[in-house]
Structure 1
Amino acid sequence: MKHPVDIHVGKRVRHRRWMVGMTQQQLAEQVGIKFQQIQKYETGMNRVSASRLWDMASALSVPVSFFFEGLEDHTDEITSDTIPGDILADKEALELVRSYYAIPENQRRRLFELARVLSDVA
């Protein structure tokens, strides 16, 4: 049976990997395992050891604590399908954020201001 913490950590691994544009194969190669193991971690099927989590954090350029962020807010609500209120569970939102950070910084600031104006009007 999957443990809610393993599911949460796996989702955070998947979201971060996706945000940096890395495949499961690329992450697996960087941490010295097979991509199938990454799949099992991301679904929460297998528990990630501390040393492996350290390696993945390094490969994904985040602190280890990144994988646990938001867990305390949703401990009773975590299911195997989604984390309620987690905007990163929405693939469209992830694509939007990823595209946003691909825009040059000066244009990104202008886009951000436009979005703020539009959201105030709506």
Structure 2
Amino acid sequence: MSHPVDIHVGRKLKQARTLRRMSQTDVARHLKLSFQQIQKYEIGSNRIAASRLYDLSRILDVPTAYFFEGLGDAPEVGARDHGLDIVSAVASIKDEQVKSRIVTFIEDVSGRTVAKSA
């Protein structure tokens, strides 16, 4: 059984990776791992070591603390993380031009810039 903290950190990894338009393979390549290992991190079945978390923070350009943000917050029963739903929906768009326009719109509305992967 996965620990709730590992599941939370894995979700944050997936969120940051998807927002940066990186695939699991892209992240795995940086870490010299298989994409399957990244999958296991993201679902929380494998723990992420502190050194690996540090490396991920550099690759994804987020502070290490990002992975723990919202951990102590108790969501309402039945509450969903709509942010992850939106990230997944945008990531599933095949037309790169449409996807780029949606991301630009989100950046304009939120006042935040989404880092683009190289």
> Kindly tell me: are residues 46 and 76 of structure 1, through their superposed partners in 2, closer, same or farther at Cα, counting changes over 3 Å?
farther
- Asked which structure has the greater RCO (Cα within 8 Å, sep 6+), the reply is 2
Provide the aligned length of Structure 1 versus Structure 2: 99
Per-residue deviation at 1:46? Answer: 0.2
Match of 1:84 among 70, 79, 96: 79
> In the alignment, which residue of structure 2 is the partner of 1:48?
48
Q: Could you tell me the TM-score, scaled by structure 1's length? A: 0.70
- Considering fraction of residues, name the structure with more helix: 1
Amino acid aligned to 1:102: T
Percent identity (aligned): 42
Q: Which runs of 5+ in 1 are unaligned?
A: 78-82, 113-122
1:74–1:84 Cα contact (<8 Å) kept: no
Per-residue deviation at 1:32? Answer: 1.8
SS in 2 for 1:13: helix
Inter-partner Cα distance in structure 1 for 2:73 and 2:65: 15
The reply to whether residue 33 of structure 1 matches residue 28 of structure 2 is no
| Counterpart mapping for 1:92-111 below 5 A | 93-94=86-87, 95=90, 100-103=102-105, 108=108
SS in 2 for 1:33: coil
> Kindly tell me: are residues 40 and 87 of structure 1, through their superposed partners in 2, closer, same or farther at Cα, counting changes over 3 Å?
same
Inter-partner Cα distance in structure 2 for 1:68 and 1:4: 11
Amino acid aligned to 1:44: G
> In the alignment, which residue of structure 2 is the partner of 1:80?
none
> Kindly tell me: are residues 86 and 40 of structure 1, through their superposed partners in 2, closer, same or farther at Cα, counting changes over 3 Å?
same
Q: Could you tell me the TM-score, scaled by structure 2's length? A: 0.72
SS in 2 for 1:73: coil
Inter-partner Cα distance in structure 1 for 2:66 and 2:82: 15
SS in 1 for 2:79: coil
